Chains A and B, each alone.
Chain A
Amino acid sequence: MALKTLDWASIARHPKFVELHHRKTVFLFGWWIFSTVFYFLLPIGAAYAPGLFKVKIIGNINFGYLFALSQFFVSWGIAMYYAKIANQKFDRLTQELIDELQ
């Protein structure tokens, strides 16, 4: 592929690219911020709200354990959701953009 001949600036202004990059930015940084905040609730909560973490939910299993466990499922959930959106929307938009450029 003759890369030097591509006009990157004009691709960057292409409406399809603008749409793609806008959607991606909102999605990626939005979920990144959510997951980070959710994660830091764990060390912050364990340190400053130990009472809450001690509350027994089922038998001897307490809130703290379930919350730590939920981190795994939330992370997996975000990953799966991202994969779905990326495979369906982002990849399609990218392909459309590439097709239009050719």
Chain B
Amino acid sequence: MKRLLIVFTLVFALAGLAGAADAAKPGDAAQAVLAAVAASPSVAQAAPAVQAPAQAPAPAAPAAPAAKPEIKANKTITIGMFLVIIAITLAVVVNSARKTKTAADFYAAGGGITGTQNGWAIAGDYMSAASFLGISGLISLYGYDGFMYSVGWLVAYITVLLIVAEPCRNAGKYTLGDILSFRTNPKPVRAVCALSVVSVSTFYLTAQMVGAGKLMQLLIGVDYKMAIIGVGILMVGYVVFGGMTATTWVQIIKAGLLMSGATLLAVLVGIKAGMNPIGFFSDIATNANIQEWVQKGVLKHPVPEAGFDYGQRFLEPGLFLKNPLDQISLGMALVLGTAGMPHILMRFFTVPTAQAARKSVIIAMFIIGTFYILTTLLGFGAAIHVTPQKISMFDKGGNMATMLLAQQLGGDIAPIVGDLFLAFLCAVAFATILAVVSGLVLAASAAIAHDIYVNVIKDGHADQHEQVRAARITSLCVGAVGIVIGIAAEKQNVAHLVALAFAVASSGNLPVVVLSLFWRRFNTAGTICGLVVGTVVSIGLVMISPNMTYPQAAADAAKKTITVLEKKVTDGGALSEKEVTDLAKAKTDFAANDGGTSMLGLKAPLFTLKNPGIVSIPVGFLAAVLGALAFRSRRSEEMFDELYVRQNTGIGIAKAVDH
């Protein structure tokens, strides 16, 4: 399968090279793309799921856009590509379903995934639509900061590689709960741990589902609800019938497609720049559109300041990430949170040995790193060839940058190539969503079925048949709940949910995993304290942070507009048509929001950072340590030798099943 993907990549790359060679005709793809369609009110909100943790550039109540351009994909080709992907993945599911007989098959593919396969699957599981569309979009609009933003997502894997991957493979079986309950009182620990896993997975899943719906709406114009139901049914199908084996293959296929698409597009960008990196950067700095965008769009300088190099400014930090503390806090959540993400941890139970776990992380790091470096080319390429002005017209968060670039560069070769390329990337985005949500559904259902049902309710006494049935039923339920929440959250700004997932994973899960594996004195009380306090504090801080909606702030902004415009009238000035509309809108906004409070009854955020990591991670660690010290347990300390020997040497782990 992997060979097939490599061949795929090569064929695409060669086709791109051949095509680009005679790509002399100027692109008029712009016309094809610009199909003014009635504004979808929440396009900027596609950002959240598609965008990384809570950094949506908060479009502060933009004046009602009259008409928003929309990407016009060739529906027939796009739907054809979708069907091909669905057909391939369904074939995988049918094949895996036959092999899924025991709980080990369902949760961990029988431990029979190879290191290389698992590496691709980890990459496929991890690179959400946020990476694919959001980061290149950020680069296309804010230059350097977008790139800097992506670094943490790769560096996070150093923690996974050095601290958690191999010990987890050696000590665990199917879930995070298995590791944490090893030398503690299993019932309460599993119950609390399952709650934490389910909440992390639900936050992340909801963000992904809403993003999926918005994206499908944006790309092929299907109804939001239909998109959610479609994605939901497929993800439930993969997980219920194929378990971990099918999920793994969906992730591998997605990673292959994503890398092919990104490589091909990057090659096209490279060819345009004459394969000369220095020339490429000078193209950015001297591009008139980028200069104008930085001056007027980002820095809001009405007239150019003398001696200010706006083009070069695009390559320097500070256009997007303005609060350094928030940035560092986000870095902490990424670096520690990735290692505490249940769906990532779960991937280490699918390989037979610690060596394979190690190899899989290293392979994943190369794929993910290459991908983010390619993203720079895509983002800067989109800024040069599509222009930031146009990208932001389609979507304020820049999420459509890659798509527009593909259509434009492909269209330069021939209009049909542009359509094909766009359709291919739409299909990749679709596969991306399916792969990520399937992993999340599996992680959540494993926590409920394996930890709570089998080990807490049934005391571990359930035969294979019953375990697999429980796993299938919970997957179905989790998937159904995901669909319902996804539909209910259509109008919500879900950006904070991704931040929340990483915050809980880094402050709740990671401290207890690390202490459990490496600290002799750690015990039941410490685990429960760490999980509960870390989770509650991170959720609490996000609830009182600027991530939430504060109507009073909107009311104050509206009030300001009203004052300015009304003063203009009393001073005898005439209002332009736009100002009249603005005034009316500001009045409505003011009436709707004045005196309003956030969900927790706050007028303004109490905690000023969007990412709570810098506070909640130390609190999580402290709670875990204090809890363990306060309620000392001899048994836990005696059991430490066993856990420590096992996690270091792999003595005593179950044998793998061949797939």
Interface residues of A (CB under 8 A from B): 1, 3, 6, 8-9, 11-12, 17, 20-21, 24, 28-29, 31-32, 35-36, 39-40, 42-44, 46-48, 50, 53-54, 56, 58-62, 64-65, 68-69, 71-72, 75-76, 78-80, 82-83, 86-87, 91, 94, 97-98, 101
What chain A residues lie within 8 Å of B148 (beta carbons)? 42-43, 46, 64, 68
B617 within 8 A of A: no
A8 to B646 Cα, complex, angstroms: 9
29 contacts between A and B (CB under 8 A): A9-B638, A12-B645, A17-B649, A24-B648, A28-B163, A32-B162, A32-B163, A39-B335, A43-B148, A43-B324, A43-B327, A44-B324, A47-B318, A47-B327, A48-B324, A58-B278, A59-B278, A59-B279, A60-B278, A62-B315, A62-B316, A64-B148, A64-B315, A65-B147, A76-B365, A76-B366, A79-B361, A79-B362, A101-B651
What chain B residues lie within 8 Å of A59 (beta carbons)? 278-279, 281-282
What chain A residues lie within 8 Å of B361 (beta carbons)? 79
What chain A residues lie within 8 Å of B161 (beta carbons)? 79, 82
What chain A residues lie within 8 Å of B652 (beta carbons)? 1, 3, 6
Q: Is there an interface contact between B144 and A65, defined as CB atoms closer than 8 Å?
A: yes
Which of B147, B316, B359, B369 meets A50, CB within 8 Å?
A: B316
What chain B residues lie within 8 Å of A75 (beta carbons)? 154-155, 157-158, 365, 369
The closest CB in chain B to the CB of A24 belongs to: B648
B650 within 8 A of A: yes
A78 to B359 Cα, complex, angstroms: 13
The closest CB in chain B to the CB of A2 belongs to: B652
Closest 3 CB pairs of A and B: A47-B324, A8-B642, A46-B317
With A60-B284, A69-B373, A91-B355 in contact, do A79 and B158 touch (Cβ < 8 Å)?
A: yes
Bin chain B's interface residue count: 35 or more
Most buried by A among B161, B373, B638, B646: B161
> Whole-angstrom distance from the CB of B372 to the nearest CB of chain A?
7
A98 to B362 Cα, complex, angstroms: 26
Taking CB atoms and an 8 Å cut-off, the chain B residues in 603-658 that contact chain A are: 638, 641-642, 644-646, 648-652
What chain A residues lie within 8 Å of B416 (beta carbons)? none
What chain A residues lie within 8 Å of B144 (beta carbons)? 64-65, 68
> Whole-angstrom distance from the CB of A1 to the nearest CB of chain B?
6
What chain B residues lie within 8 Å of A98 (beta carbons)? 649, 651
Q: Is there an interface contact between A21 and B328, defined as CB atoms closer than 8 Å?
A: no
Q: Is there an interface contact between B644 and A12, defined as CB atoms closer than 8 Å?
A: yes
Question: DSSP class of B's interface residues: helix, strand, loop or mixed?
Answer: helix
Most buried by A among B284, B644, B648: B648
B230 within 8 A of A: no
A75 to B284 Cα, complex, angstroms: 27
Q: Is there an interface contact between B331 and A39, defined as CB atoms closer than 8 Å?
A: yes
The closest CB in chain A to the CB of B640 belongs to: A12
The closest CB in chain A to the CB of B312 belongs to: A60
> Whole-angstrom distance from the CB of A16 to the nearest CB of chain B?
10
Taking CB atoms and an 8 Å cut-off, the chain B residues in 74-107 that contact chain A are: none
The closest CB in chain B to the CB of A25 belongs to: B518
A76 to B369 Cα, complex, angstroms: 8
Chain B 151-167 interface mask (CB, 8 Å, partner A; 1/0): 11011011101110000
A6 to B641 Cα, complex, angstroms: 11
Q: Is there an interface contact between A71 and B359, defined as CB atoms closer than 8 Å?
A: no
Most buried by B among A43, A69, A71, A91: A43
Q: Is there an interface contact between B318 and A42, defined as CB atoms closer than 8 Å?
A: no
Q: Is there an interface contact between A94 and B648, defined as CB atoms closer than 8 Å?
A: yes
A68 to B369 Cα, complex, angstroms: 12
What chain B residues lie within 8 Å of A79 (beta carbons)? 157-158, 161, 361-362, 365
A40 to B333 Cα, complex, angstroms: 12
Chain B 268-294 interface mask (CB, 8 Å, partner A; 1/0): 000000000111011011000000000
What chain A residues lie within 8 Å of B331 (beta carbons)? 39-40, 43
Q: Is there an interface contact between A20 and B648, defined as CB atoms closer than 8 Å?
A: yes
The closest CB in chain A to the CB of B330 belongs to: A43
B321 within 8 A of A: yes
What chain A residues lie within 8 Å of B359 (beta carbons)? 83
Q: Is there an interface contact between A11 and B155, defined as CB atoms closer than 8 Å?
A: no
What chain A residues lie within 8 Å of B358 (beta carbons)? 82-83, 86
With A43-B148, A53-B316 in contact, do A71 and B159 touch (Cβ < 8 Å)?
A: no
What chain B residues lie within 8 Å of A42 (beta carbons)? 148, 151
Q: Is there an interface contact between A17 and B318, defined as CB atoms closer than 8 Å?
A: no
Q: Is there an interface contact between B645 and A11, defined as CB atoms closer than 8 Å?
A: yes
A101 to B652 Cα, complex, angstroms: 13
What chain B residues lie within 8 Å of A62 (beta carbons)? 312, 315-316
> Whole-angstrom distance from the CB of A33 to the nearest CB of chain B?
10
> Whole-angstrom distance from the CB of B260 to the nearest CB of chain A?
20
Chain B 411-451 interface mask (CB, 8 Å, partner A; 1/0): 00000000000000000000000000000000000000000
A16 to B36 Cα, complex, angstroms: 71
Taking CB atoms and an 8 Å cut-off, the chain B residues in 235-292 that contact chain A are: 277-279, 281-282, 284-285
A17 to B161 Cα, complex, angstroms: 21
Q: Is there an interface contact between A60 and B281, defined as CB atoms closer than 8 Å?
A: yes
> Whole-angstrom distance from the CB of A43 to the nearest CB of chain B?
4
Which of A6, A17, A36, A68 meets B147, CB within 8 Å?
A: A68
A12 to B639 Cα, complex, angstroms: 11
Q: Is there an interface contact between A71 and B151, defined as CB atoms closer than 8 Å?
A: yes
Q: Is there an interface contact between A71 and B162, defined as CB atoms closer than 8 Å?
A: no
Taking CB atoms and an 8 Å cut-off, the chain B residues in 152-200 that contact chain A are: 152, 154-155, 157-159, 161-163
A83 to B321 Cα, complex, angstroms: 34
The closest CB in chain A to the CB of B366 belongs to: A76
A61 to B359 Cα, complex, angstroms: 34
A39 to B148 Cα, complex, angstroms: 10
Most buried by B among A3, A72, A94: A72
> Whole-angstrom distance from the CB of A56 to the nearest CB of chain B?
8
Q: Is there an interface contact between A6 and B369, defined as CB atoms closer than 8 Å?
A: no
Chain B 324-339 interface mask (CB, 8 Å, partner A; 1/0): 1001100100010000
Most buried by B among A53, A60, A80: A60
Given pairs A32-B163, A59-B282, A75-B155, 19 additional interface contacts (CB within 8 A): A9-B641, A17-B645, A20-B649, A21-B648, A31-B158, A31-B162, A39-B155, A43-B328, A46-B145, A46-B317, A47-B324, A50-B318, A59-B281, A60-B315, A65-B144, A72-B373, A75-B369, A82-B162, A86-B355
What chain A residues lie within 8 Å of B312 (beta carbons)? 54, 56, 60, 62
